Amino acid sequence: MSKLNYDEIRDWYVSNFNTFENNLNGSLDVPFHKVRKSAIAKFEELGFPARRHEEWKYTNITPLLKEKLPLAGKSDRFSAADLAAYTFEGLEKNLLVFVNGQYSKELSNYKNTVDGVIIENLASALKNHSDLIADSLSQYANYDDEAFVALNTAYANDGLFIYVPDNAEVEAPLHLLHLSDSNDGAFFSNTRHLIVAGKNSRLKVVESHHGIGDAICFNNFVSEVVVMDNARVDHVKLQDEHSAAYHIYNLQAHQEKESVYSLVNIDIGGKLTRNNLNVALKAEHCEGHLIGFYMGSKKQHIDNHTAIDHAMPNCYSNEIYKGILGGKASGVFNGKIFVREDAQKTNAYQDNKALLLSDDAKVNTKPQLEIFADDVKCSHGATVGQLDEEAIFYLRSRGIPKEKAQSMMQYAFASDVFEYIPIESVREKIDHTIFERFKTL
Partner 1 sequence: MSSEQQIIESRIKSEYKWGFTTDIDMETIPKGLNEDIVRLISAKKNEPEWMLEWRLKAFRHWLTMTEPRWPNVDIAPIDYQDAYYYAAPKQTEAPKSLDEVDPKLLETFEKLGISLEEQKRLTGVAVDAVMDSVSVATTFKDELAKHGIIFCSFSEAVQDHPELIKKYMGTVVPYTDNFFAALNSAVFTDGSFCYIPKGVRCPMELSTYFRINAANTGQFERTLIVAEPGSYVSYLEGCTAPMRDENQLHAAVVELIADRDAEIKYSTVQNWYPGDENGKGGIYNFVTKRGICLDDNAKISWTQVETGSAITWKYPSVILKGDNSVGEFYSVALTNNYQQADTGTKMIHVGKNTKSTIISKGISAGKSHNSYRGLVKIHKGAHNARNFSQCDSLLIGDRCGAHTFPYLEIEDKTAKVEHEATTSKIGEDQIFYCNQRGIGTEDAIGIIVNGYCKEVFKELPMEFAVEAQKLLAISLEGSVG
Interacting residues with partner 1 (CB under 8 A):
54, 341, 344, 354, 356-386
Phi, psi of 84, rounded to the nearest 5 degrees:
-50, -35
CA distance 165 to 167: 6
C-beta atoms surrounding 138 within 10 Å = 23
Q: Which is nearer to partner 1, 244 or 441 (CB)?
A: 441
CB of 306 to partner 1, least distance (A): 15
Q: Quick one: CA dihedral 348, 352, 421, 116, positive or negative?
A: positive
CB of 387 to partner 1, least distance (A): 9
d(CA 186, CA 195): 29
Q: From 307, 288, 313, select the one nearest 232 (Cα to Cα).
A: 288
Of the two residues 19 and 368, which places its CB atom closer to partner 1 in the complex? 368
Measured from the CB of residue 253, what is the shortest distance to partner 1 in angstroms?
23
Nearest CB to partner 1, comparing residues 40 and 356 = 356
Closest to partner 1 by CB, 54 vs 390, is: 54
Burial tier of 402 (Cβ tally within 10 Å: 0-12, 13-18, 19+) = exposed
Amino acid at 441: L
Mutual orientation of helices 424-437 and 402-418 as an angle, nearest 10°?
A: 150
CB of 361 to partner 1, least distance (A): 6
Distances (CA, A) of 95 to 143, 195, 208, 241, 342: 30, 16, 11, 18, 42
**In the complex, minimum distance from the CB of residue 402 to partner 1, in angstroms, rounded to a whole number:** 16
Closest distance between partner 1 and the C-beta of residue 431, in Å? 25
Task: Decide whether 29 or 374 has the Cβ nearer to partner 1.
Answer: 374
Is the Cβ of residue 11 or residue 341 nearer to partner 1 in the bound state? 341
What's the first-to-final CA gap in the chain, in angstroms?
A: 30
